[in-house]
Structure 1
Amino acid sequence: MSDDLIHNPVGGMPRLIEIMRRLRDPETGCPWDIEQDFASIAPYTIEEAYEVADAIEREAWDELRGELGDLLLQSVYHTQMASEAGLFDFDDVANGIADKMVARHPHVFGDESRDKSAEQQVQDWERIKAAERAAKAEKGVLDGVAMGLPALMRAVKLQKRAARVGFDWPSTDEVIDKIVEEAQELREARDAAHRAEEFGDLLFVMANLARHMEIDPEDALRATNAKFTRRFKAIEAALAAEGRTPKDSDLAEMDALWDAAKDAEKRG
């Protein structure tokens, strides 16, 4: 029955769960899969989530199904390891998130009115989440902000939490003044450890400025990375047309080619 399910092309979730169970079987499974644990798989989970985001960003809809499958496999992998340890199984995971969605949407699944603005619904969501944190004995304002988040994203979440209790600058002017102050402190840092600390402080305040300006710093930096990639590829293409590479050029020439690529983008 197990083999029939594994080779059933329309076996759905039961098929995937059984495949993972077999891969982790200590007697007949894959040696690599057997050796893994939660910590060793976690980086792959993060990587797969970013690959989903990348496919969406590129509107690569033909790739998205596969990337979502890769991400789903991560949940199945972690759940199989948890099941082996007697912690929980896949039904527990599915039922847990289903319960959470029902509890957080009383205007859909309960008696509350749906006649609310999106902003009111966000406020209700945050109120419900706060009650959930209280039930978990998370008493500190910053408790529960995941350590494994990308650093810029976590910085914004920490700042939002602090802002809820009034620990925040009143406007962007004060944030920009703080950026100037932190940049000067970075300039004055004299050793590697101090420079790293001051650089972190500067990034943290930059994330705060993004929050005040309602900019997602991860999205903004991702867009700038894409822009840098486009323009540098234009430099490479221009040099390649002459049978050269960036190594055969110099900064002044590449700077001029960069400006040309920038102007071409503006005209386009």
Structure 2
Amino acid sequence: MNTREQQLQAFGRLLDIMDDLRTKCPWDKKQTMQSLRHLTIEETYELGDAILDNDLQEIKKELGDVLLHIVFYSKIGSETGDFDIADVANAICDKLIDRHPHIYGDVVVADEEEVKKNWEKLKLKEGKKSVLEGVPKSLPALVKASRIQDKVAGVGFDWEQPEQVFEKVKEELSELQEEVSKGDTDAIEAEFGDVLFSMINYARFLKVNPEDALERTNKKFIKRFQYLESKAQESHKQLKDMTLAEMDVFWEEAKKMQ
């Protein structure tokens, strides 16, 4: 692996390249924080895909793309005199030191859960009025629900046992079925949301990341369905012309292959 000096040299090289691009490249010169925003989100999702695939070479590449965006925003900030990359790095260093008094202070913690609870208490001391202020509004709903539950649990608003949460899941499912029988679309949507929220909470108690779990199922479904498509093509058939029973034969084959 590279030495710390080599790591710093590589980072300095990236900063130099960013300076060149900002002054010499027509595309890079035009970019603003607003124009980069959607690209940054896209790069973050691509990194997430690489992590789920456990593709270390792709992770390295995607981390570079994300790092470029951090440097890009910092370069724009320096042009307006608001902040530069040193300010960004120092700000996160200061935050990490302040939020880890069990490392840089005299606070004693027993385990990871105690660290998380202290983290939320420290944020409130920093001036936040709500523990939920740190949940980005633009997060996808499933991820947002997970973060909300993590944060409120950090200040003690939580169930005690997984069995209690599962009972809540069953209660919400029953309420959903009741609304389905009535046919009120708005009420059905509300109860469906409650079911999803309770399932995400149950996932937390099972120590399962709901986003990863759902994406794992997405990938599994895609792989099986594409196998079904390929087998249908080999049989010179169109899926729309096949019966469910015919498709199910290939679907079961795909399941056995995984």
Category of TM-score, reference length = shorter chain: 0.7 to 0.9
Question: What secondary structure is seen at the aligned counterpart in 2 of 1:156?
Answer: helix
Pick the aligned partner of 1:63 from 48, 58, 63. 58
Contact 1:79 1:90 in 2 (8 A): yes
Pick the aligned partner of 2:37 from 37, 42, 57. 42
Output the amino acid matched with 1:178. E
Pick the aligned partner of 1:99 from 91, 94, 100. 94
Find the aligned partners of 1:82 and 1:189 in 2 and give their Cα distance: 53
What does residue range 16-95 of structure 1 map to in structure 2 within 5 Å?
A: 16-25=14-23, 28-30=24-26, 32-95=27-90
Contact 1:55 1:64 in 2 (8 A): yes
Judged with a 3 Å threshold, the aligned counterparts in structure 2 of structure 1 residues 201 and 125 are, in CA distance, closer, same or farther, namely: closer
Judged with a 3 Å threshold, the aligned counterparts in structure 2 of structure 1 residues 233 and 95 are, in CA distance, closer, same or farther, namely: same
CA RMSD after TM alignment: 3.0
What does residue range 211-226 of structure 1 map to in structure 2 within 5 Å?
A: 211-226=204-219
The gaps in structure 2 that reach 5 residues or longer are 1-7
1:134 and 2:135 matched: no
Question: What secondary structure is seen at the aligned counterpart in 2 of 1:24?
Answer: helix
Judged with a 3 Å threshold, the aligned counterparts in structure 2 of structure 1 residues 133 and 46 are, in CA distance, closer, same or farther, namely: farther
Output the amino acid matched with 1:21. D
Find the aligned partners of 1:194 and 1:20 in 2 and give their Cα distance: 52
Contact 1:82 1:89 in 2 (8 A): yes
Find the aligned partners of 2:190 and 2:167 in 1 and give their Cα distance: 23
Q: TM-score, normalised by structure 1?
A: 0.77
Contact 2:165 2:198 in 1 (8 A): no
Find the aligned partners of 2:214 and 2:167 in 1 and give their Cα distance: 22
What does residue range 109-128 of structure 1 map to in structure 2 within 5 Å?
A: 109-110=104-105, 120-128=111-119
1:171 and 2:162 matched: no
Find the aligned partners of 1:17 and 1:248 in 2 and give their Cα distance: 58
Contact 1:186 1:198 in 2 (8 A): no
Q: What is the CA-CA distance between 1:232 and the residue it aligns to?
A: 1.0
Q: TM-score, normalised by structure 2?
A: 0.79
Q: What is the CA-CA distance between 1:72 and the residue it aligns to?
A: 0.6
Aligned to 2:4: none
Aligned to 1:5: none
Find the aligned partners of 2:220 and 2:173 in 1 and give their Cα distance: 24
Question: What secondary structure is seen at the aligned counterpart in 2 of 1:257?
Answer: helix
Output the amino acid matched with 2:229. E
Find the aligned partners of 1:205 and 1:95 in 2 and give their Cα distance: 39
Question: What secondary structure is seen at the aligned counterpart in 2 of 1:171?
Answer: helix
Find the aligned partners of 2:172 and 2:106 in 1 and give their Cα distance: 47
1:249 and 2:249 matched: no
Aligned to 1:149: 139
Q: What is the CA-CA distance between 1:12 and the residue it aligns to?
A: 1.9
1:261 and 2:254 matched: yes
Output the amino acid matched with 1:177. E
Aligned to 2:3: none
Judged with a 3 Å threshold, the aligned counterparts in structure 2 of structure 1 residues 211 and 44 are, in CA distance, closer, same or farther, namely: same
**Structure having greater relative contact order (Cα 8 Å, sep ≥ 6):** 2
Comparing 147-156 with 227-236, greater Cα deviation is found at: 147-156
Output the amino acid matched with 1:81. I
Output the amino acid matched with 2:115. D
Q: What is the CA-CA distance between 1:195 and the residue it aligns to?
A: 5.9
Contact 1:231 1:262 in 2 (8 A): yes
Find the aligned partners of 1:78 and 1:188 in 2 and give their Cα distance: 52
Find the aligned partners of 1:174 and 1:204 in 2 and give their Cα distance: 10
Contact 2:135 2:144 in 1 (8 A): yes
Question: What secondary structure is seen at the aligned counterpart in 2 of 1:173?
Answer: helix
Contact 1:235 1:254 in 2 (8 A): yes
Output the amino acid matched with 1:240. Q
Judged with a 3 Å threshold, the aligned counterparts in structure 2 of structure 1 residues 129 and 18 are, in CA distance, closer, same or farther, namely: farther
Find the aligned partners of 2:70 and 2:145 in 1 and give their Cα distance: 26
